[in-house]
Every structure is written in C-alpha cells, then in structure tokens.
Structure 1
Amino acid sequence: MPNPRTDQPEPVEKARLAAVASLLGAPSTLRKVPRSPLEAHEMLLNGLPSRALSHLVQNLLFLRWDDSFTKAIGMSHRTYQRHVAAGAKPLSPEQSGRTWKLAEVLAKATSILGSKQEAEQWLERPAMGLNQHKPIELLATPAGVELVEEFLVRLEHGVYA
C-alpha cells in the first residue's frame, strides 16, 4: 500500500515485492524488480520470462513437480519443458500470475516459518487449519489461494485454528 504522503510503496511492500522477485531469479531473470503492486501487475500482463519460472523450479529444495504443483502453476510439466526449451517465449498472463502467486506464498511462508525448506515442506503437509488440505493443493483456485493467504496471516499472528 502506498504512503499517502509520498505515493511510494511502504518499505514492507517493497521488501515483499523484492522477496518474490528474488525467488523468480531477479535481477538476472526479470527486466526489473517491480517497485509497486501496479508494476508487478503490468509485468505479469506482459508475461514473465520463462526463465523466471525455471529459476523458481530449479531452486526448490523440497517441492517437486507433481499434480498439485501442476495445478498451482497452471501448466503441465511437459509444457514447462517446452517453455524452457524455447527459451525466449514469455509465460502467458495466467501462467505468470500463478507463478507469481506461488512465489508470493512461498516468500510469505518463508518469512513466517523461518526457512525456505520449512516453507516448502509446509506447503506439502496437510494443515489442520485448512481442513487437512495441503496448502499447495489449494493454490489451484483463487478461492483456495485466499484461504492459504488467510491461514498464513493466522500463523503469523499465532492463531492456528
């Protein structure tokens, strides 16, 4: 959220955007790190470079490309492989948005849980506060994403159920 006096993003917002961009390999994979949610939106509309998704996938410690991951990203493993082989072709806005959202959730979970490894493992474990669903499974729909984000806020504030 911008500061009303300066119309600049708050430091927390800048840090969040930087953390997400870092998971996507910025600055080497992105033309620039977005400085505001609007810049992120415009970047996603134009399509993330496929190498941003490739960087995210190659740097996962625990998560693997399975059915839940496919649904979270909105792309099959074979389509991902074609994107990597093609190199320069950007992701669609839909694929870009899903990739960004996964990185955003992973960044938030890392911040709350203390390590990327713990955050990735958390995404794969059934959560009592999510009716025993794995968070990664819920990332397949906007409603599920909202549930995961709300659950992360509860975890951040020490409210688990």
Structure 2
Amino acid sequence: MMVSEARRSSSIESDFRPTAYLIDPQAMPLSSLALYRLVRDGFALAKVRAMVASSPLYSATSVLDRILGYSGRRGQRQEKQGHRVLLNARQSATAFQYAQALERATVVFGNQRLAEHWLGRPCKFLAGDVPLDIIENWWGFQSVEDYLQKIELGIYH
C-alpha cells in the first residue's frame, strides 16, 4: 500500500497524538522555549506510562525502561507510596522523542499499526538499525525524523 493511500484509509488514526499524553493538547503547538521548560521541569511518570501504554510496540519492548534508564517498577513503588514522580530533564526529553517519533510515523504511514510495524523493523536507510532502538539518542531520533520526512515527500532510498 502506498503511503498516501494508507494516510487516506485511516484519517481517524492519523489524529492519534502520543505527545498529548505528555502535554496538554490545548497548549499545542508549543514554542521551543515552552517545550524546553516543560522538559526541564519533568513529565509526570504517570503521563509517560500512559503514553507508552497507548502503543502495543512500546509496551512490548519496554520503552518505559529505556526512557527511565532503569526498571519502571522503581517509579511504580514511589507512586504507590503516594509520591508524584517526575522524570528528570534527560528522561523527559527521551520520552518526548519517543512520543514524537510514534506520532510522526503514524501520520506518515496513515495508522498506528503501520507506524509501529515500521518502527520495529530494521531500516536500510538507517544502516540496518531498528528505528525504535535509536530514538532515545537525539542524533538517532533526528535520523528517524529526517527519513520520515523523506518518505512523506516521496523520496525513497
């Protein structure tokens, strides 16, 4: 199926916004400075957990652990003790990159299922790396974003 056909086939799913789990949709679009401040202050672990849970791929591949840099169970224990757990700036930036990548891929491929399929497979343009595996690093995330833009523009390698 061509990308444009996939996009037309599911306009409802293309409205899927993983970033809305982290940031109030009413506040979007945000300036870079406003986004910086939100990331600096840290996203609530509960919001990040909800974003990850919205994706079967992210849930199955322990993206929460990748974002936190440790098992998500540690934060769960803190939440159970009544603490509001906030991620640090690095963790929040990583969480936002995962949300943005899934959101962008969903728009480009037309639905979340196709987006997750692409994110979870080796990509020749990314030197055979799996997009999901390189998103947590800013340069890897930028490479994924660049390639998604090329796909959207019809430039395939």
Normalising by structure 2, what TM-score?
A: 0.75
Amino acid in the other structure paired with 1:81 = R
Aligned partners of 2:151 and 2:125: how far apart in 1? 9
- Map of 1:108-147 to 2, 5 A cutoff? 108-147=104-143
- When residues 160 and 74 of structure 1 are mapped into structure 2, their CA distance, relative to the original with a 3 A threshold, is farther
List per-residue Cα deviations over 1:88-132 (Å, max 9, x = no partner).
110011000000011011111000001112111211111121122
Of 154, 158, 161, the match for 2:150: 154
The answer on whether the counterparts of 2:120 and 2:131 sit within 8 Å (CA) in structure 1 is yes
How far, CA to CA, are the matches of 1:149 and 1:71 in structure 2? Answer: 22
TM-score by length of 1: 0.73
Find out whether 1:82 has 2:74 as its counterpart: yes
Q: Distance in 2 between matches of 1:65 and 1:95?
A: 19
Quick one: distance in 2 between partners of 1:108 and 1:91? Answer: 23
Stretches of structure 2 lacking an aligned partner (at least 5 in a row): 1-15
Structure 1 residues 73-93: Cα deviation after superposition (integer angstroms, max 9, x where no partner): 2523x2x22223323110011
Does residue 21 of the first structure (1) align with residue 16 of the second (2)? no
Distance 1:131 1:71 in 2: 25
Contact 2:22 2:96 in 1 (8 A): no
Q: Distance in 2 between matches of 1:96 and 1:139?
A: 13
Gaps of 5+ in 1: 1-17
Residue by residue over 1:34-75, the C-alpha shift from the partner in whole angstroms, topping out at 9 and shown as x without a partner, is 5423222111100001111110122112334547x3685252
- Tell me the amino acid that sits aligned with residue 98 of structure 1: T
- For 1:152 and 1:131, the matched residues in 2 are separated by 15
1:45 is aligned, of 37, 40, 51, to 40
- CA positional deviation for 1:133: 1.1
Identity of aligned residues (%): 20
How large is the Cα RMSD of the aligned pairs? 2.5
Q: Secondary structure at the match of 2:51?
A: helix
Higher helix proportion, which one?
2
Q: Matched residue pairs, number?
A: 137
- 1:73 corresponds in structure 2 to 67
